[in-house]
């Protein structure tokens, strides 16, 4: 029978070659039905959306099998780069994304003794040796892409001498750089990584977890496959730049008797338009003050996206949709934004807030009159509930919703034009008040008392519907409008002048101090998400207080009017 390999029309899940391979392994009962993966961050920085892709891939792959699991392993073999500070943020971010590693949290540093013992074993079997050349000699001896390497003069040391030297390295008898431990593989290999790679180097550095217990530290190429072996990993998933290490990965794993024998699979890392993803560049943005920190809502870090108002579900959905393949790509950030809007549209209560207030006075409305009107929090889902709006003589409307000399197809406020106040009433602009500078400071209107709630009493068509708040009831707030951090699709494109910071979008943050909110928006808690009707999705920032609410704009609504004007 022919197994349909691709997905049919209307497919919900994007292609994922790793899932396909694992399903095949399950079918053939490879590893006895076990699937164990791991997410192995180095605790030297904050996680970003690229890591999120990997986290989703590793956890969803494990879920393919009954009893499958995904480990969280901190790959902390370089004491000079890592810090405990990052460990907690990584845990928090993975948890926030919605994944649970249960009791399977590990640290590569917990394996230092075991790794050492295995290295001794390799030495005893003649597969590793202590090299006493200088760094420069080792580098020169490795050759280059076109020339094979040459054997180190120390390559044929006796097992006894190697054992003695290695023990003394561990004991701290030598200075940094005096010796290294190397795997004895093949100095003439076309694969440069196989030319007797380093396994251990001397580093008299304080480790964030093991303190000063060790002065020799294992290299990634040795520690990683071994850690996978120790933990019973079946599918070791990493990004493409590690593909060259696969033969070496297998070499180490095959010199021990692991069950299961792990295998490494590589996939293409995520790149996004209008975004930089490397830890080094993100660090520069923070350190040079281009953003307020690792959790600045413009950052592609998980912490930044969380503060921006992204939902875990949107990120997971995005990761699923873009698929997993081996080809380099730059995903249109619009795909991410689509997943975001999709989730927010379904989950956000609708509210009203005026960002740039313009006073509107209803002249035929009593001075102290007030009409209470019910308004649902969702236009089509009653389970969201409703609140009461207060129609009063003085209101605030959006300055952008008024145009003194309207262009064609303008359905909003303009002299003589009638519009609907959402869930409020129909009002007609009768006059415009200006200050000495000629700026519009107030709109004078009349309303149709028959139109309470916004219904046209005679069925007349009123095309424009605008949002508003009662001046008397409005709560002042700060609103931070965020936009893409970069102006260019590919900020790293070398065709541009200057470095990537020259492409930062100067309009990526605009702070409005005088926004007017409907009252219920003043009492929401940090992280709560709402839609400000007609404007976009917003989230309560951690800086928010009861006295001074602060909202961040997560993303604008799709705006076909803005498009039309262009």
Partner RNA sequence: UCCCGGGUCGUCUAAGGGCAGGACAACAGGCUUUGGACCUGUGAAUGGUGGUUCGAAUCCACCCCCGGGAACCA
Write out the binding residues for RNA, residues 421-480 only, by CB under 7 A: 422-423, 453-455, 464-466
String marking each residue 219-258 x if it binds RNA according to CB under 7 A: xxx-xx---------------xxxxxx-------------
Q: Pick out residues in 148-177 that bind RNA (CB under 7 A).
A: 176-177
CB of 419 to RNA, least distance (A): 9
User: Given the complex with RNA, which of 69 and 142 has the nearer CB atom?
Assistant: 142
Distance between CA atoms of residues 413 and 418, nearest Å = 7
334 near RNA, rule: CB under 7 A: yes
Q: How far is the CB of 332 from RNA (least distance, A)?
A: 4
User: Binding residue for RNA (CB under 7 A) from 103, 145, 287, 495?
Assistant: 145
- In whole angstroms, the minimum distance from the beta carbon of 53 to RNA comes to 11
Check residue 381 for interaction with RNA (CB under 7 A).
no
User: At its nearest, how many Å lie between RNA and the CB of residue 81?
Assistant: 5
SS3 517: strand
Which residue in this structure is represented by tokens 């002299």?
415
Nearer Cβ to RNA, position 193 or 292?
A: 193
Nearest to 324 by CA among 22, 26, 57: 57
Is residue 42 a contact point for RNA (CB under 7 A)? yes
Residues 284-323 that bind RNA (CB under 7 A): 321-323
User: Do 183 and 166 contact (CB within 8 A), yes or no?
Assistant: no
- Residue 366's alpha-carbon distances to 198, 361, 391, 394, 490, in angstroms, are 85, 11, 11, 10, 57
Contact present, 301 and 47 (Cβ < 8 Å): yes
| Helix axes 84-97 and 49-62, enclosed angle (nearest 10) | 60
Nearer to RNA, 133 or 430 (CB): 133
What is the SS3 assignment for 539? strand
Pick one of 90, 128, 138, 540: the residue that binds RNA (CB under 7 A): 138
Give min distance, CB of 548 to RNA, in A.
25
Stretch of 6-14, 115-123, 163-171, 478-486 lying at the interface with RNA (CB under 7 A): 6-14
Among 53-61, 201-209, 303-311, 427-435, the segment contacting RNA (CB under 7 A): 201-209
Q: Are the beta carbons of 515 and 477 closer than 8 angstroms?
A: yes
- Catalytic machinery residues: 42, 269, 279
What is the four-CA torsion angle of 259, 260, 266, 271, rounded to 10 degrees?
-100
Residue choice 1, 10, 288, 459 for contact with RNA (CB under 7 A): 10
The CA-based angle 309-310-314, given to 5 degrees, is: 155
The answer to the question of residue 531 lying near RNA (CB under 7 A) is yes
- Report how far residue 94's alpha carbon sits from residue 233's, in angstroms, rounded to the nearest whole number: 19
Nearer to RNA, 303 or 462 (CB): 462
Task: Provide the Cα torsion 56, 61, 63, 65; round to 10°.
Answer: 180
Rounded CA separation 462/422 (Å): 11
**What is the smallest separation between the CB atom of 66 and RNA, expressed in angstroms?**
25
390, 372 contact by CB (below 8 A): yes
User: Taking Cα atoms as reference points, which of 160, 158, 155 lies closest to residue 131?
Assistant: 155
Q: Which is nearer to RNA, 394 or 400 (CB)?
A: 400
For position 9 contacting RNA by CB under 7 A, the verdict is: yes
The residues that bridge with 476 in the sheet, in sequence order, are 516
- Binds RNA (CB under 7 A): choice among 250, 292, 325, 347: 325
Return the residues of window 69-98 that contact RNA according to CB under 7 A: 75, 77-78, 81
Nearest to 131 by CA among 204, 200, 205, 219: 200
């Amino acid at each position: 029978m022919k197994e349909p390999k691709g997905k049919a029309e209307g497919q919900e899940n994007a292609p994922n070659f790793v899932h396909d391979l694992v399903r095949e392994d399950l079918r053939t009962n490879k590893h006895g039905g076990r699937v164990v993966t791991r997410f192995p961050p180095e605790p030297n920085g904050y996680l970003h959306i690229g890591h999120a892709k990997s986290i989703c891939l590793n956890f969803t792959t494990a879920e393919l099998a009954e009893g499958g699991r995904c480990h969280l392993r901190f790959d902390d073999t370089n004491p000079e780069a890592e810090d405990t500070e990052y460990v907690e943020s990584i845990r928090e971010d993975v948890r926030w994304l919605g994944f649970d590693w249960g009791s399977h949290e590990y640290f590569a540093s917990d394996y230092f003794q075991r790794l050492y013992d295995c290295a001794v074993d390799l030495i005893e079997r003649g597969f590793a040796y202590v090299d006493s050349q200088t760094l420069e000699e080792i580098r020169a001896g490795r050759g280059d892409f076109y020339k094979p390497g040459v054997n180190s003069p120390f390559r044929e040391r006796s097992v006894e001498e190697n054992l003695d030297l290695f023990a003394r390295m561990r004991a701290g008898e030598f200075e940094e750089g005096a010796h290294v431990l190397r795997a004895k593989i093949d100095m003439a290999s076309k694969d440069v990584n196989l030319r007797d790679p380093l396994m251990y180097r001397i580093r008299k550095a304080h480790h964030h977890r093991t303190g000063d217990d060790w002065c020799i530290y294992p290299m990634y190429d040795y520690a990683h496959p071994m850690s996978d072996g120790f933990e019973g990993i079946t599918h070791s998933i990493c990004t493409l730049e590690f593909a060259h290490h696969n033969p070496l990965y297998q070499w180490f794993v095959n010199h021990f008797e692991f069950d299961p024998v792990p295998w490494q699979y590589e996939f293409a890392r995520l790149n996004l338009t209008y975004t930089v993803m490397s830890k080094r560049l993100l660090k520069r943005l923070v350190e040079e003050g281009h953003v307020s920190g690792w959790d600045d809502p413009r950052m592609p870090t998980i912490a930044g996206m969380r503060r921006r108002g992204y939902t875990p579900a949107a990120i997971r959905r995005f990761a699923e949709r873009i698929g997993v393949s081996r080809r380099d790509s730059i995903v249109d950030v619009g795909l991410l934004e689509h997943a975001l809007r999709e989730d927010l549209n379904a989950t956000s209560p609708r509210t009203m807030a005026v960002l740039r207030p313009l006073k509107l006075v209803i002249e035929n409305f009593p001075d102290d009159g007030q009409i209470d009107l019910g308004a649902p929090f969702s236009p089509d889902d009653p389970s969201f509930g409703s609140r009461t709006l207060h129609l009063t003589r003085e209101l605030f409307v959006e300055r952008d919703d008024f145009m003194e000399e309207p262009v064609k197809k303008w359905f909003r406020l303009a002299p003589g034009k009638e519009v609907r106040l959402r869930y409020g009433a129909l009002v007609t602009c009768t006059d415009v008040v200006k200050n000495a500078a000629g700026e519009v400071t107030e709109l004078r209107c009349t309303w149709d008392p028959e139109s309470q709630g916004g219904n046209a009493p005679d069925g007349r068509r009123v095309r424009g519907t605008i949002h508003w708040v009662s001046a008397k009831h409005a709560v002042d707030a700060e609103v931070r409008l965020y936009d893409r951090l970069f102006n260019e699709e590919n900020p790293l494109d070398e065709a541009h002048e200057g470095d990537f910071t020259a492409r930062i979008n100067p309009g990526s943050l605009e702070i409005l101090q005088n926004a007017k909110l409907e009252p219920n928006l003043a009492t929401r808690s940090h992280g709560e998400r709402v839609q400000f009707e007609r404007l976009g999705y917003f989230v309560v920032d951690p800086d928010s207080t009861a006295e001074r609410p602060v909202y961040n704009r997560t993303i604008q609504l799709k705006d076909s009017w803005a498009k039309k004007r262009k």
